[in-house]
Structure 1
Amino acid sequence: MLMKDKVVVQVPGTTANLGPGFDSLGIALNIHNRLIIRRASIPTADAMIAQAGEAFFSASNEKSFPFACEIDGKVPPSRGLGSSVTVRLGTLLGLNRLTSEALSTEQLYKICAKLEGHPDNAAPATFGGFTVTRGDFKIQRFEVPAHLHFVLLVPDFEVRTSDAREIMPHSVPLKDAAFSVANASWITAAFASQQYATLRGAFKDGLHQPYRARLVPFLDDTIHAAEAAGALGGWLSGSGSTIACLTLEYPDRVAEAMQKTVPGSSSVFVTSADNQGACLIS
C-alpha cells in the first residue's frame, strides 16, 4: 500500500459544559482549525503535538516516524473553544491517514479524550453536533439545527485550563449540585427533543461558574445583557475566557448587548453548530 506524505485535516472548535454540564456536555461549532500533517526529516518540537504522536504510535502499533504539523484557522488558543482538541485530534487523524488507518474514529476520539483528561470537547469535535459524555468516554449525540445561533464573546485575555480548575473547590453544597444536575438534565432533554425554546433559564450552574467568574469578572453581566436582548441564556465556554450565548432570534442584537458589558477590548461573532465533526480535507 502506497503511504501518503501529507494530509490536511479540519477540526471544529467546541463549546463545552453549557453551564451545569461540567466535563460532560459539548457542542461543535462552525469555526475550524486546519492542520497539515506531513512526513519530515526533523520531528515536531511542539510538546502537545509530539505527545499526540506518541499516543497514536503506541495505540496503533505503527512504526513511528518524524512528522511536522502546520496549523491555520480561527479557533483562538486558551479561550475555552477547544483549541487543544483541534491540535490533538487533528494530529491523531492525520497520522492515522498517513499510515494504514488502523484505528477507528471512536478509538481516535478516546485517545484524544484521555490526552485532554475529559471528553466534553473531544466528543463534539470528533462527531459533531451536541454530545453528552460520561467518564468512561461513552457518548450520546444529537444533531443541532442551523437556526440555533451561538453568539461568542472572545475577550482579549487568556484563561489557562489549569488555572480555571485550580480555582474550583473540592466540594460544593448539595443544593448547588442538585440544582446543576437538574439543569444539565433539562438541557440534554431539550436538545434531544428539539424543544429549544424550553432552554431559557437552564444554563445556570452551581458547580464551577460561580468560582471561575473571578477569572472573567463580567461573566454574569454579559449573560444578563444577552438574555435581556432576547437570548435563551449563556455560559462560560469551557474554562473561559469566551462567553457563549444561545439565541433563536436577533443574534446581532444579542452580540451588540454582550459587547457593551466588556470593559476592555473583545471580539464578538455569531456562528452555528457543526454537525460533521473532524474530517479529512485531502
Structure 2
Amino acid sequence: MKHIFKNETSILNNCYNKDIIQRGFTMQELTVRVPGTSANLGPGFDCLGIAFQIYNWFTFRWQKIEDVVSPQEQIDQLAITNVRQLPMMEAYVKYCTLFDVDLPLLELVDSLESDVPVARGLGSSATCYTAGAKAAQWVAEQLYDKQTILKEIEGRFGSYKIDPFSNEAILAIAAMIEGHPDNISPAVFGGLQIASILEQKDFPHVLYQTLPVHSTVNFIISYPNYSLKTKNARAILPKKIDRQDAIFNLTALSFLIQGMETGDPVLLEHGLQDRLHQPYRAKLIDGFYDILKIGKNAGAVGSVLSGAGPAILTIYLDSENGDLIQEKIQNELGENWQVLKLKIDHSGINIKTGREKF
C-alpha cells in the first residue's frame, strides 16, 4: 500500500504528527461496530433510547492517494464512486469541517455486514452516522498531534469545550446530522440513555446520562418484512400538542425511568404509555394496537413502538418465560415478522484494526 503522504506540504501541516509522517505512515483497514438501538420507549420521544446486542459492522479503508483531500473533494469523489457510503461520509466530512482537519478519502469495504434492519425503527441510520464520525476520529488520531489540534480549535465553539478525540465528539456530530440524540447516545455509549441537544448554534452540546436498568427487565424486538421511512413517520406528527398530553407523557416518562431502575411492573406498565407520537404513527402500521396487545397477552408488561417503527419493543420481567413469550408473539405475528430476544449492549461503539467481526 502506498503511503498517504508524498511530502509534508498540506493544509494545517503544523498540526500533523510529523514523527508518523517521517516514518512513512501506512493506513490500515478499520472495522467499526455499532449497536442497534430502540428509541422513545413510549413516552421518551426524541430523548430516550437503549442499545441492544445486535450490531452493524463497517469496515473502512482509505484510498491509496498521495495526499489528503478537502471535505468538498471527498463529497465530489463520493458522488461518482459510491452513493451507498453517503451517510457515513456525511459524518466523516462533518468531523473534518468542524475540527478543520484534512483526511484521506474514505472508502467503505464491500464486505459490510449488517444485523440491524434498515428503516425498521432500530437505529440503522444512527449506526451509519456514528461509524463515519468514529472513522474520521480514528484516522485523525493517527495523523495529528492532539494537543496542537486542541489549541487550534480553542474558543471556536464559544464557551463550550469539546475534545475532538472523545466519544462526546462522536455523539455531537452524529446528533447534529440526525437532529435528535435518542438513538445516537445509546449507539455511542451503550445502555439506556437519556439525552438532549442543549445548543446547536456552532456545535451541539449534547447532555446525556446513562440510566440504570434492573436485572429483571428483559426485552423482545419484533419487526416486519416491510420498512417505514422515518421522514414519513415524522411528517404525520402534529405541529402542536395539547398541554394535557404533554403532562401525561412527563408523568409516564418519570414512571418508566423509575420502573426500569426498580423492575416494578406497575411503574413499567404505566410508564410505557404515550400520547405524543404513537397515536399518530399508529395510522402507518396496520393493526398497531392489536399488535401491542399481543405481548401483553403473552405475559409481558407491555409493548411500544420502537423508534419511528414499524418494529415493536416488548418488555417482560420473568426471564424464565422469555422463550414462551417470544414463541407466542411469533405465532401471533406470523412468518412475515422476526421476533428476537435481545440483551442490552453496555459498550456502545467499538473499533478494531483489520477486517473482521468482533
TM-score (norm 2): 0.74
**Matched residue SS, 2:46:** coil
Q: State which of 132, 135, 155 in structure 2 corresponds to 1:91.
A: 132
Change (3 A) 1:93 1:265: same
In structure 1, runs of 5+ residues without a counterpart are: none
1:56 aligns with 2:95: yes
Measure the CA separation in 1 of the matches of 2:244 and 2:329.
30
Give the % identical residues.
30
Aligned counterpart for 2:248 among listed residues 176, 179, 187: 179
Counterpart position of 1:108 = 170
Q: For 1:235 and 1:3, locate their aligned partners in 2 and report how far apart those are by CA, in whole Å.
A: 48
Shift of 1:189: 2.4
After superposition, the Cα gap between the structure-2 partners of 1:145 and 1:73, relative to the gap in structure 1 and judged at 3 Å, is: farther
Equivalent residue, structure 1, for 2:326 = 255
Q: Distance in 2 between matches of 1:227 and 1:151?
A: 12
Matched, 1:155 2:224: yes
Q: Secondary structure at the match of 2:45?
A: coil
Deviation of the 1:234 alpha carbon: 1.2
96, 104, 112: which one aligns with 1:65:
104
Separation (CA, whole Å) in 2 of partners of 1:8 and 1:60: 23
Separation in structure 1 between the aligned mates of residue 27 and residue 103 of structure 2, nearest angstrom: 15
User: What's the counterpart of residue 276 of structure 2?
Assistant: 207
Contact 1:16 1:26 in 2 (8 A): yes
3-state SS, counterpart of residue 50 of structure 1: helix
**Which deviates further from its counterpart, 48-57 or 143-152?**
143-152
Tell whether 2:266 aligns with 1:195: no
Which residue of structure 2 aligns with residue 244 of structure 1?
313
Deviation at 1:259, TM superposition (A): 3.0
2:63 corresponds to 1:22: no
Q: Confirm or deny: 8 A CA contact 1:37 1:95 kept in the other structure.
A: no
* Counterpart AA for 2:329: M
Q: Deviations over 1:155-201 (max 9, x none)?
A: 1110100000001111222222211111012112233x433433123
- What's the CA shift string for 1:57-100, capped at 9, x where partnerless? 11232213211114312100000000001111011112211222
Name the stretch that deviates more: 15-24 or 63-72: 63-72
| Preserved contact between residue 103 and residue 140 of structure 2 (Cα < 8 Å) | no
Deviation, 1:134, is: 1.8
Alpha-carbon separation, structure 2, partners of 1:52 and 1:134: 19
Whole-angstrom distance in 1 between the partners of 2:133 and 2:314: 31
Distance 1:34 1:196 in 2: 35
**CA distance in structure 2 between the partners assigned to 1:174 and 1:259 by the alignment:** 38
Q: Which has the higher contact order (CA 8 A, sep 6+)?
A: 1
CA contact under 8 A between 1:144 and 1:275: conserved in structure 2? no
Aligned to 1:7: 30
The 1:220/1:32 distance shift into structure 2, 3 A limit, reads same
Q: Return 5+ residue gaps in structure 2 as ranges.
A: 1-19, 65-76, 143-163, 199-205, 354-358
SS at match of 2:172: helix
Corresponding residue SS for 1:281:
strand
How much has 1:237 moved relative to structure 2? 0.4
- CA distance, structure 2, for counterparts of residue 196 and residue 58 of structure 1: 47
Match of 1:222, as an amino acid?
I
Partner Cα separation in structure 2 for residue 112 and residue 196 of structure 1? 34
* Structure with more helix by fraction: 2
| Equivalent of 2:239 in 163, 170, 176 | 170
Take 1:104 and 1:228, find their aligned partners in 2: how far apart are those partners?
Answer: 44
1:260-279 equivalences under 5 Å are 260-262=331-333, 265-279=336-350
Partner in structure 1 of residue 67 of structure 2:
none
Distance 2:120 2:292 in 1: 17
Q: What SS class does the counterpart of residue 32 from structure 1 fall into?
A: strand
- Structure 1 window deviating more from structure 2 (122-131 vs 228-237): it is 228-237
Select the structure of larger CA radius of gyration. 2
Matched AA of 2:352: I
Q: Detail structure 1 runs of 4+ shifted over 6 Å in the superposition.
A: none
3-state secondary structure, aligned to 1:135: strand
SS of 1:49 mapped into structure 2: helix
**Aligned length in residues:** 281
Cα 1:118–1:202 change in 2 (3 A) is same
Instruction: Provide the residue aligned with 1:77 in structure 2.
Output: 118
Residues 130-169 of structure 1 deviation map (CA, whole Å, 9 limit, x = unaligned): 1111232201112445653211111111010000000111
Change (3 A) 1:3 1:234: farther
Paired position in structure 1 for 2:191 = 129
